[in-house]
Chain A
């Protein structure tokens, strides 16, 4: 099951994976480690940052789906065993 897609698709996916890696690194908010301040008077800074991070994670996946969704996986799953999916027929 090869889901790399064509050249433009592969390039988009590579960029998206770089974005995912950078985003994963941003999870480590070492600069807020000993910050006890309360955002908006009630929300601890560390908790506030990670709440925003959770929302941003959803937005990141929305972006990924828009620019790099592996559409060929659907046809591969629906192709009976023993037959080649249309995306595989062009493969060497």
Chain B
């Protein structure tokens, strides 16, 4: 179909939602400018906001950081394919496990970071295990695990906007495919997202990211509930929407035949990943005091409910309507376009969804901080690099990471959710390390090395087998269970076993280190 013919055949569309999304982007740029005014000019302020963030802002920013494209686009896509079990696999388990990890690990690391002035995880591990080489091994692993997480954000944004804007520009973006004809292509969306995110984190550093995340959290909490209500209304009410699924795809309303018990139980290890997210470490350090964590512990599980429940219901309702989508990643975008009638409200709902997707800013900020503090500063020598130099190095690395992530996002995997789970599984494999570093006096440097190597080996093999090999063969990846259990179970088991066995077989850490952390 020629562009002219496509334009003539296209139904009338409203551009109002696009203007609302544009306004949302402008607010983010405004927040970047405002956070720059609060910037105190020091690298400590750029990387930790001078430990000034109170309970409400901490809750909103930590929540915004943990909810990304994975939560909005990924959960809708996965429930479209696999049903309501998606909520039970990731959302309710995260409700208990995330808060548990914030309590066991987050508060302790905040205290350690505040007392000894650590800005990154690598600095803590180098000191705790008296080994610079351990940090050198850990840095590239953390970077390589964060990049796919950033990429899922880009893919989520690209496919969501593509689904939400189809038919808007039939002349400019004609594809000949009904599901994507006239839609803003992912490469353009991702380019705009990169520009806006770079702007506000370059201006305000971690404070810019915290403010943006807080604003984004409010946006997507409201958007999720509004989308649920409006889509349900268009489908004839809550009852009618769910009964359509019961009639056409009843298997999606239960877990029998969709999820095994072994898979379900071992999925609970996936949320342990938050204990090793570099961006959460940095977010925790922004806290003013330990009491600020209290609101996070209580409200995090409830906020997860408000975000995931609408997405999962919209996903299964889409299946009940036999929705046609270019990929399951586009289901949320298409559902909001198709069933949210009022154009302004539709724009707000879509802007809210993009808000969740765009919260990859903290990940990018954390990578810049790690590169500066863990690579550049040790190489240049302590005291050789001033505040301005540190900030500039951080910005340079962020730019590089954005370019690599952008390139990778142009070759998306079929499902954002699966890529996210693989990424989290790697971080979960490092959880025994951080837990032992905080609570186990007997853990040794050799034990820490063994744990990281075991995690890397098992995760690498399973990742290749579960995602890379099927992709290279052009096959759609299946659920990558090993003996009925999620790969994360084997990764965590190998990592923990190596840590314990090697630690018990090697020399304990020095008295001075034990006194420093266990006095």
Contacts and interface: CB of A to CB of B under 8 A. Distances in A.
Contacts of B93: 27
A81 B116 contact: yes
Contacts of A64: 103, 297
Contacts of A29: 88
Nearest to A82: B516
A10 interface: no
A57 interface: yes
Which of A1, A59, A69, A76 gathers most chain B CB within 10 Å? A1
Contacts of B265: 28
* A interface: dominant SS: helix
Interface in B460-519: 516-519
A65 B298 contact: yes
B88 A46 contact: yes
A79 B304 CA distance: 35
A36 B519 contact: no
Contacts of A38: 239, 242-243, 246, 253
Which of A20, A24, A27, A76 gathers most chain B CB within 10 Å? A27
Contact of A27 (B92, B239, B261): B92
B261 A78 contact: no
Given A24-B96, A41-B242, A36 B253 contact: yes
B254 A57 contact: no
Contacts, number: 147
Interface string A57-92: 111111011000110011011111100100010010
A41 B239 contact: yes
Contacts of A62: 298
Contacts of A61: 99, 103, 297-298, 301
Interface in A12-69: 20, 23-24, 27-30, 32-36, 38, 41-47, 50-51, 53-55, 57-62, 64-65, 69
Which of A46, A51, A57, A61 gathers most chain B CB within 10 Å? A57
Nearest to B305: A54
A55 B302 contact: yes
A55 B299 CA distance: 9
Which of B100, B114, B115, B246 gathers most chain A CB within 10 Å? B115
A65 B237 CA distance: 40
B110 interface: yes
B519 A51 contact: no
B294 A65 contact: yes
Which of A27, A28, A44, A78 gathers most chain B CB within 10 Å? A44
A1 B88 contact: no
A35 B219 CA distance: 34
A1 B298 contact: no
Interface in B238-292: 238-239, 241-243, 246, 250, 253-256, 261, 264-265, 268, 289-291
Contacts of A65: 294, 297-298
B519 A88 contact: yes
A53 B94 CA distance: 11
A84 B304 CA distance: 39
Interface of A: 1-2, 20, 23-24, 27-30, 32-36, 38, 41-47, 50-51, 53-55, 57-62, 64-65, 69-70, 73-74, 76-81, 84, 88, 91
Given A47-B84, A61-B103, A64-B297, 20 more contacts: A1-B108, A1-B518, A2-B519, A24-B268, A28-B265, A29-B88, A34-B254, A34-B255, A36-B246, A41-B242, A42-B237, A42-B243, A43-B242, A54-B92, A54-B304, A57-B99, A57-B302, A58-B299, A58-B301, A81-B516
7 contacts: A1-B111, A38-B239, A44-B84, A51-B305, A70-B290, A74-B289, A79-B115
Give the 6 A-B CB pairs with smallest separation, nearest first: A34-B256, A77-B111, A42-B238, A57-B301, A54-B305, A50-B92
